[in-house]
Amino acid sequence: MRNEEPLFPRRTSIEELDRESRRLFDPEIENTVREIVNQVREQGDPALRAYAEELDGLPKDSELNLDRRRLQEAFESLPEDDRQRLERISARIGAFARAQLSCLTELEMEIPGGRAGHRVAAVERAGCYAPGGRYPLPSSVLMTVIPAQIAGVREIWVASPDQSPLTMAAAWIAGASGMLAAGGAHAIAALAFGAGSVPPMDLIVGPGNQYVTAAKKYVSGEVRIDMLAGPSELVIIADDSADPAIIAADLLAQAEHDDNAFPFLISLSDSLITQVERELEGQLNGLPSFRTARRALRNGGSVLAPDLNTATRWSDELAPEHLQLCTRDARSLADRLSHYGALFVGEQTAEVIGDYGAGPNHVLPTGGTARSTGGLSVFTFLKIQTWMELDPAEGPSQLLNDGAWFARQEGLEAHARAIERRGV
């Protein structure tokens, strides 16, 4: 018997969506996060340990900082088949990161009176957060640490409330320097400002719950972060050629993340929506995460688009974390879309494969922020440093004359005189 409240609500337009459901975190938690972060910043390791014991369930007197030896022991404790799978997945993520890195080159060019250019350098230290909670994500350890290692980051710390052998093994094989056995806002504070043997990081990356996201926002003025990520999202654009069973399976895969996940279908076929709704009801039966998935399905929904142009416009307005195309000419449609975190082209290209190490990263922007930023990658861990060298043998140049003129236009006489001492 169907519930009075629809399992998968239909919308008449994108404008009907509750935008609040896609917010990154509840503003009311910011005061709590601020207090936690400040305590760890001021007191260091003792505050971190107290919060880890209280909030993460860390046993008293247990190790808070796990070195590479401990991580290696966890890797070696795994069955041979598990170790091989981790190695294969890591290799694929690494290959993609290396290919991305090869797209960047050093620059050197002539300028009047000398030369200028840029060099590509990695940050020195990076902190990589991996969620624990209901579904620990050792895959996020690989997705964050491997690009950092490929980029050339010298010191990489993982922070996670989950110290399962698989998560620790992932940290070892990815190349982490060590692992902080803590999660939440207190772990972000430790990565930002240092605690015990963990030094302050230059960059903090990785997904987490609302407390993690709020903490990243709070420390972002003093340490660089990758992005502020909220609940997971999937938008599927489908026409009447799509398989409703596959679409339902993909929506449920996204829905089981948490109650606030956003699974959404933009369909060009009204009958397809009806078939997908029936499939969702059937596939929910026996799903271990059915309670969470059911709530998330109600948070998302479906909308009937009158044509493909409208479907692409609505998708770009949503700018979803994941965008999947289940249409006849998906590759052509892909070229018409502008805003998404990651794109999955064709019905056989399941979004969930992107979560588990095909190559591209699964740490992606949410809440519409894909309009202005992309996902985590090897580039996240790099900085572009410019340089310039002028040759005094060249004598006064137009460059110096122009510079002195501009300085005086801005009322900065000392600037102009400093330029003129070089021979103007």
Confirm if 179 and 28 have CB atoms less than 8 A apart.
Answer: no
3-state secondary structure of 330: helix
Quote the CA–CA distance of 341 and 217 in Å, as a whole number.
20
Confirm if 367 and 339 have CB atoms less than 8 A apart.
Answer: no
Place of tokens 């860390």: 58
Catalytic member of 321, 347, 351, 362: 321
Smallest Cα–Cα separation from 305: which of 363, 216, 236? 236
CA dihedral of residues 204, 208, 212, 216 (deg, nearest 10)? 30
Give yes or no: 322 in active site.
yes
* Backbone dihedral angles phi then psi of residue 90, each to the nearest 5 degrees: -60, -40
Smallest Cα–Cα separation from 102: which of 379, 375, 357, 384? 379
Give yes or no: 257 in active site.
no
3-state secondary structure of 212: helix
Catalytic member of 322, 347, 351, 362: 322
Smallest Cα–Cα separation from 160: which of 125, 209, 227? 209
Confirm if 233 and 322 have CB atoms less than 8 A apart.
Answer: yes
74: left (phi over 0), alpha (psi -120 to 50) or beta: alpha
Q: What is the DSSP letter of 198?
A: B
Q: Could you list the active site residues?
A: 321-322
